Structure 1
């Protein structure tokens, strides 16, 4: 074999961890490379008399006529295996160099193992989950600091995590309960230097605005409490190991973050959630660590969890399993807001506001048209003199799609003093402003409510005994009765299982969206992919399809592209690194949601150098 042929064969490889100057492959994937190249790799090992069990990773140069045979003896069992031996071969000069790392205190380590094996590898999903965990902790923000064992461990510690049995442990709070195995629960509380993921979610949704009291049930060393108090928020907490004498007090918001993972007894976990729920006035946030069965199989089973090497108990969940456990414990609907994080509302008015806002579209009313001429000089003078007041009132009309009541307009007293009633002010605005704006607003508001009701039915939420007054007014305005609204929503929801209807809607969306990609298989529409900014432009049916799937996952915080699988009842979410600024952004995260199975699969592609890039970005965004 010569250099040009070697480079040609390496370039033809479709699998492996691809870096700018090399491709890394596990030996289990070698049968998928070109046969000539496979034979050369084996021949090099035989020629140098390297035993077959002394190398398991091959590094193929993308620039030179060279390769390396690497030995990571703990590849399958260590999350970040250390390099034991490297044999670098220059095929041009027929020379080689052997480097033994056995005595090194700080050997090179391996990341992103899932990129080096085939998807059929039995540990493929576990490898993906390990990578995803590191990315969520922010460990891959700068790849220059991750290549060696010491710097990697220091990076983990600096982010407030600890590596136990290959998994990252966060600041989990624990409950005291002596067990005959003397499991050491206090060892799982890890020092953290920023707000925890559940607290960040609360901040994102405006709950940390100072209007709500906060209680952290199982606060560990109190990292979140210190940060919240530094911002002047009313935050208290309790922990059996670090704040055992603190009072458990009622609060608007209660967080039980990564607590149930470390409780051995299932009944105690339920009691912990129920105890936190008893303290909750408005909203409970429940979070837990996720893992798959292949990872758990490596450890000593104990009850329904595992025992780690540090003699701590861990009960990992899947996304759907966690939802079921919360709902069984509380007999309340658990709303997914992120992987491993759920909201449970005690204040049902607040819950309805939160859910409706998820489906409420925002429209920027530009008022390009000039005011319509009004015959009555007095009315013209009124609008000229009090333009700001009427403009504000009209904005609320467009927001609601109807005439507001007094409580819905903050300057209602001024308006009533001027014209007498809200309805009269509404009629005057209809004569003065463009009615077409209101018709658009009414259509949008009605569709948003229909989507909200349909998605609520998909989630099998209990019917609300009481509704916010604004919702009652909306139902009367747009549907006349609640029964009519529910009937129309039910009909819409059932249509998401009609593949022909979904196909029609996707074809129509492909024609009307500013940008989208329609993929066909066997001359039949297979999927529609679009940017999340166009989600609000979809038909009500497709919005229900997407929103129903998102109930199993959470919100689109780090996701850019959405793929609707037309015939299979699935939805794929794609997240990219620096999507807005890069012409060919790298794929960072892929999530497949299977609605029929009520299950979610997570796949991670985090690596600043891994070349899983998006080609043709302009097909997705204008």
Structure 2
């Protein structure tokens, strides 16, 4: 195995003190969970292995140049981090992916450099990639190409975790649990120290989920504190202590989230009822007459996603986000408050092509089906934040595109920030106050001029105004 790797590939291995982006994503997604064994296949200099060891993960690493002495062992999770890029022989590239897939029992995490990084890679064409001046090879993948390639080689259902990072699940239960956490997050339990606080935690769960938990869902410490109470007595205490309106609203919210989950699951391949995570099974039993009925309703929801008129109607009827003639723009803090059909729209795009790790606004087009995630890193600090990057996926072709504005001298910027948020967002009042001041000062008189940094600055000068934080003041005399 060692001889099949070109020795010059070692030059692509970088030393790092922190976790790589794919490893951080996997940790955030709970794929590198306690109790799971992890193999970093093609670990290079072993930076991720050392970092994961510090986090007390059961991790081993193998690399044909840096760690050839120990044969790679089968593991629950296998990381294949930026390995496929550097293999110039397509047949060997495929065999490497097949080998990594053979070694995993739960999930294979594959990451690769993407085509939008081409400006960072200097070299001449060689095979299906580039040969650099250091005699290293780089095959840059398109985001949809990576997903399709891993799907073709493994035969598994692939979920895009983030641009350039995909999960291939060998364990169907693990895949469904991952999707459930993305769409219907696990309820966090309040800590319990005595019977009274345990009852409070139970009431809080019921008010937020809309149904009582089954014993398997209750933290062990909380269950032990409630064990001396009879079931009927516990039900009475919860009924008498909980807010009925909160329970009703949460039941509606959980019902819609369950429909969303089942629709996304159909988009990605739906399994039988018994394959669903326990919490989703209980939601189905609590809020639907049957699994068949829940699936039928979710199927109708997915069909409505194809209807431009229905989607546009949902955007018009929603009080969430800023609606323009071409798209709806919603801040990430407000995305989960959108109508269910629009949440489904955004979730399908994220599972098809990966939601970026850094983003501020989601842009949902009216016609056709395309979602963009826009990054405004200073949204909360800058009264008119500048865009840093945009990542778009076309849901009809699954093609993706990426634009970086980092080197632009005249970047687009945002106005009326409160419109991207929910009305009850704690910052909305302050942002609305600034907008009203700017309107009163005449700064929006020529809207076609103010969309970029230079145009906006020119209008500020014309109106004799300047910004101090989120306050508009008269410009000091020069």
Structure 2 length-normalised TM: 0.79
1:472 is aligned to 2:281: yes
Distance 1:425 1:301 in 2: 70
Distance 2:139 2:291 in 1: 42
SS at match of 2:363: strand
1:198 is aligned to 2:40: no
Task: State the match for 1:326 in structure 2.
Answer: 150
Distance 1:198 1:475 in 2: 33
Deviation at 1:431, TM superposition (A): 3.3
Task: State the match for 2:138 in structure 1.
Answer: 314
241-250 vs 385-394, which moves further: 385-394
Task: State the match for 1:105 in structure 2.
Answer: none
Distance 1:518 1:613 in 2: 17
Task: State the match for 1:412 in structure 2.
Answer: 223
SS at match of 2:69: coil
CA contact (8 A) 1:361 1:444 kept: no
Distance 2:408 2:379 in 1: 13
CA contact (8 A) 2:32 2:77 kept: no
1:606 to 395, 400, 406: 406
Question: Structure 1 274/399 Cα, relative in aligned 2: closer, same or farther at 3 Å?
Answer: farther
Task: State the match for 1:304 in structure 2.
Answer: 128
2:262 to 453, 463, 475: 453
* Per-residue CA distance 1:204-263 (angstroms, 9 max, x = gap): 234456443321000011122222223443221000111111221132321110111122
Task: State the match for 2:391 in structure 1.
Answer: 591
Deviation at 1:351, TM superposition (A): 2.1
Distance 2:273 2:214 in 1: 23
1:392 is aligned to 2:201: yes
Query: Aligned runs of 1:181-580 on 2, under 5 Å?
Result: 184-208=8-32, 210-291=34-115, 300-360=124-184, 386-410=195-219, 411-419=222-230, 421=231, 425-460=234-269, 466-509=275-318, 512-513=319-320, 516-520=321-325, 526-580=326-380
396-405 vs 588-597, which moves further: 396-405
Distance 1:456 1:430 in 2: 33
Deviation at 1:619, TM superposition (A): 3.0
Q: What's the C-alpha RMSD, in Å, of the aligned pairs?
A: 3.0
Question: Structure 1 579/553 Cα, relative in aligned 2: closer, same or farther at 3 Å?
Answer: farther
1:177 is aligned to 2:4: yes
Question: Structure 1 296/266 Cα, relative in aligned 2: closer, same or farther at 3 Å?
Answer: farther
Deviation at 1:462, TM superposition (A): 5.9
CA contact (8 A) 1:396 1:409 kept: no
CA contact (8 A) 1:333 1:461 kept: no
Structure 1 length-normalised TM: 0.62
* Per-residue CA distance 1:140-163 (angstroms, 9 max, x = gap): xxxxxxxxxxxxxxxxxxxxxxxx
Deviation at 1:417, TM superposition (A): 2.2
SS at match of 2:53: helix
Distance 1:612 1:233 in 2: 43
CA contact (8 A) 1:274 1:330 kept: yes
Deviation at 1:461, TM superposition (A): 5.6
CA contact (8 A) 2:329 2:364 kept: yes
CA contact (8 A) 1:361 1:448 kept: no
481-490 vs 322-331, which moves further: 481-490
Deviation at 1:298, TM superposition (A): 8.7
How many residue pairs end up in the alignment? 417
CA contact (8 A) 2:208 2:247 kept: no
Distance 1:413 1:386 in 2: 9
Deviation at 1:587, TM superposition (A): 0.7
> Normalized per residue, which structure has more helix?
2
589-598 vs 602-611, which moves further: 602-611
497-506 vs 184-193, which moves further: 184-193
Distance 2:270 2:242 in 1: 40
Unaligned runs of 5+ residues in structure 1 are 1-173, 367-384, 521-525
Distance 1:399 1:345 in 2: 30
Select the structure of larger CA radius of gyration. 1
